[in-house]
Amino acid sequence: MQRRSLLPILAAPLIAGLPRAALAQPAWPARPVRVVVPFPPGGSNDAVARPLAEELQRALGQPFIVDNKGGAGSTIGSAEVARAPADGYTLMVTSSTFATSAAVQTTPYDAGRDFTMLALLATAPLVMLAAPSFPPDTMAEAVAYIRARPGTVDYGSAGIGSIGHMGGALFALKAGQLDMQHVPYRGTGPVLNDLVAGTIQLTFTTATAAAGLITGKKVKVLGWTSEERPASGPPAPTPRESGLPDYEAGIWWGLLGRRDLPGPIRSRINAAANAALAEGRLATNLTNEGATPRPVSLEAGNRFLQEDMLRWREVASAANIRVE
């Protein structure tokens, strides 16, 4: 009885030393978690976010609810996450556009300072596609063709600052300051329609986005934008095989949150997401997107994010790309 009566006394100094917030805060997650996708419904970000949400709900015991908040090159949804409390109940699944948008325009947040990469989910290369009427059949031939005809070749993308725009700009820089004209569209669908029609000559996108056109031979695949071409992808040369060993462009998908999220929450999310990448619907969807799952540590994920943002800022500066 004497030992039992001493327990509250012995514990009192420990409890008194804890912050008031730590005493009141329940274990995370204690309620549903909102997962913002800063793009309209459909598309690759939804294809990644929704099975990820299912896997996180299964692993962590609370609903993870996907909420599409598209617009302004992903900055509207990203701004909502930046303004949300740093409590782990508002996260974001986004892609390379997060980095490229920040490189070409002023955003209502500091992409490098306000966010952390909780989990790098996957990466995928782009393909360089050409209209059927475009004479070159390979990336190397395209370089020579464009160099001989400065200012006459148009390439389309899903918008200014999109990964397709920046991938094309980087291609032009690495090939020796090629003079190509960028044509921005509202989404990938209109780009591909005009490519098939020959209104534009080139585009840079994922093989999945143009899968039907590729298999139907309605567009030409001139080359991959990465040395890591998918085994199931269409046969085409890599940049190194095309004489452009320094050219590397691709898309990534990641789970991001506020940089000042508590460390234990960041660690739980990273562990659960990495486990989800190993099997189940998420892994299947990533493979179907032509992507490679990339489970990495928190430190490696944030290093990847910072390096990607720096690279696209340098490309935007060199190619004088800016959205006012």
Amino acid symbol at 49: A
Q: Region 158-174: what's the mean pLDDT?
A: 95
Q: What is the pLDDT of residue 5?
A: 43
Give the model confidence (pLDDT) of 67-85 as tens digits: 999 888 889 999 999 999 9
Is the N-terminal amide bond of 29 cis, ω within 30° of 0? yes
Q: What is the pLDDT of residue 208?
A: 86
Q: What is the pLDDT of residue 25?
A: 53
% of the chain at pLDDT higher than 90? 77
At residue 30, the 3 state secondary structure works out as: coil
Q: What is the pLDDT of residue 11?
A: 43
pLDDT band at 14 (very low <50, low <70, confident <90, very high): very low
Better-predicted residue by pLDDT, 10 or 131: 131
- The mean predicted confidence, pLDDT, of the chain is 90
Answer yes or no: is pLDDT of 9 > 80.
Answer: no
Does domain 33-123+250-318 correspond to CATH entry 3.40.50.2300?
Answer: no
Domains 33-123+250-318 and 127-242 share a fold: yes
pLDDT band at 186 (very low <50, low <70, confident <90, very high): confident
| Ordered alpha helix ranges (H), the chain | 2-16, 20-24, 44-60, 75-83, 97-104, 111-114, 139-148, 163-174, 188-197, 211-215, 263-276, 280-288, 298-318
CB-CB contact of 116 with 258 (8 Å): yes
CB-CB contact of 116 with 302 (8 Å): yes
pLDDT band at 39 (very low <50, low <70, confident <90, very high): confident
CA distance 314 to 307: 11
- Sheet of 220-224: strand order equals 181-184, 154-157, 202-205, 127-130, 220-224
Q: What is the pLDDT of residue 286?
A: 85
Lowest mean pLDDT among 10-19, 39-48, 99-108, 158-167: 10-19
Q: Region 264-274: what's the mean pLDDT?
A: 97
Amino acid symbol at 260: D
Q: What is the pLDDT of residue 287?
A: 83
Lowest mean pLDDT among 65-79, 128-142, 228-242, 276-290: 276-290
Better-predicted residue by pLDDT, 188 or 26: 188
Give the model confidence (pLDDT) of 286-298 as tens digits: 887 788 999 999 9
Q: Region 94-116: what's the mean pLDDT?
A: 94
Q: What is the pLDDT of residue 40?
A: 83
Q: What is the pLDDT of residue 138?
A: 97
CA distance 146 to 245: 19
3-state secondary structure 146-200: HHHCCCCCEEEECCCCCHHHHHHHHHHHHCCCCCCEEEECCCHHHHHHHHHHCCC
CA distance 135 to 154: 14
Q: What is the pLDDT of residue 61?
A: 96
Answer yes or no: is pLDDT of 21 > 50.
Answer: no
Of 127, 131, 150, 267, which Cα lies nearest the Cα of 191? Answer: 131
Match domain 127-242 to its CATH number in 3.40.190.10, 3.40.50.1000, 3.30.9.100, 3.10.105.10: 3.40.190.10
Amino acid symbol at 68: N
pLDDT band at 42 (very low <50, low <70, confident <90, very high): confident
pTM of the predicted structure, to 2 decimals: 0.85
CB-CB contact of 62 with 87 (8 Å): no
Q: Fill in the DSSP letter of residue 130.
A: E
Lowest mean pLDDT among 177-181, 204-208, 314-318: 204-208
CA distance 257 to 298: 12
Domain positions in the chain are 33-123+250-318, 127-242
Residues constituting the chain = 324
Q: Region 6-18: what's the mean pLDDT?
A: 44
Strands 90-95 and 64-68, bridge-based pairing: unpaired
